[in-house]
Amino acid sequence: MAEVTSQMVAALREKTGAGFMDCKKALVESNGVEAEAIELLRKKGVASAAKKAGRSAQEGVIHSYIHGGGKLGVLVEVNCETDFVARNEEFKQMVTDIAMQVAAANPLYLTQEDVPEAMIAKEADIAKAQCVGKPEAAIAKIVEGKLKKWFGEICLLEQPFVKDTSKTIRDLVTEKIAKMGENIVIKRFVRFQLGE
């Protein structure tokens, strides 16, 4: 068993932003192997992010982003639990990234739950109509796949993040919840385009 020094804990805290005791426990569990400790903290962080989702988020920021010489503008409200996190540079950068995402990808809704049922039914009918001649057993899966792709286009949380398409905006928010230890909620957004 490797000895866990305060320098090792401090280095791990610097890299991960996790709390002192969490870093110490992760280093003890991983026998002082930093890479394994980081992986343990990431797994724990994502699990704890799910627990934090129910907590009240009343602080945060409203951020504006203007693009194209004033031809496109976005307002986004992102909430967190404390003013301390709201003033954090990493939180502010995430909010800016979300505003840029709205400007670039033009989502219509925040989540799938916000999309009107009639609109979903219409899109499902269109997808079914495109399945003429396909085996009956495959149609349901094809329609489901087309709806998932469609939600990924019109729902902000389901969209691929423009700066890293390997993750969605939902993944980005979950990562920040895990890292900052607070619930973070994209509350609302609005996008203005000149002439629309």
> Measured in Å, how far apart are the chain's first and last C-alpha atoms?
65
Domains in the chain: ranges and CATH: 6-52 (1.10.8.10), 59-110+155-193 (3.30.479.20), 116-153 (no CATH)
Q: Is the Cα torsion angle 101, 105, 106, 110 positive or negative in sign? A: negative
Q: What is the mean pLDDT of the chain?
A: 85
Q: What percent of the chain has pLDDT over 70?
A: 87
Compute CA 174 distance to the chain's CA centroid, rounded to the nearest angstrom: 5
Tell me, what's the pLDDT at 78? 94
Whether the model pTM is above 0.85: no
Q: CB atoms < 10 A from the CB of 70, how many?
A: 8
Measure the CA–CA gap between 190 and 137, rounded to whole angstroms: 40
Site of tokens 């409203």: 62
pLDDT band at 52 (very low <50, low <70, confident <90, very high): low
> In Å, how far are 13, 122, 141, 157 from 131, measured between CA atoms?
53, 15, 11, 28
Q: What is the pLDDT of residues 15-42, one digit of tens each?
A: 766 666 778 888 888 888 888 887 887 7
The answer to whether the CB of 52 falls within 8 A of the CB of 181 is yes
Of 91-95, 111-115, 129-133, 153-157, give the lowest mean pLDDT range: 129-133
Q: What is the pLDDT of residues 106-142, one digit of tens each?
A: 999 999 999 999 999 999 889 888 888 888 878 888 8
Mean pLDDT of 72-79: 95
What SS3 state is found at 166? strand
Mean pLDDT of 145-149: 91
Measure the CA–CA gap between 182 and 81, rounded to whole angstroms: 6
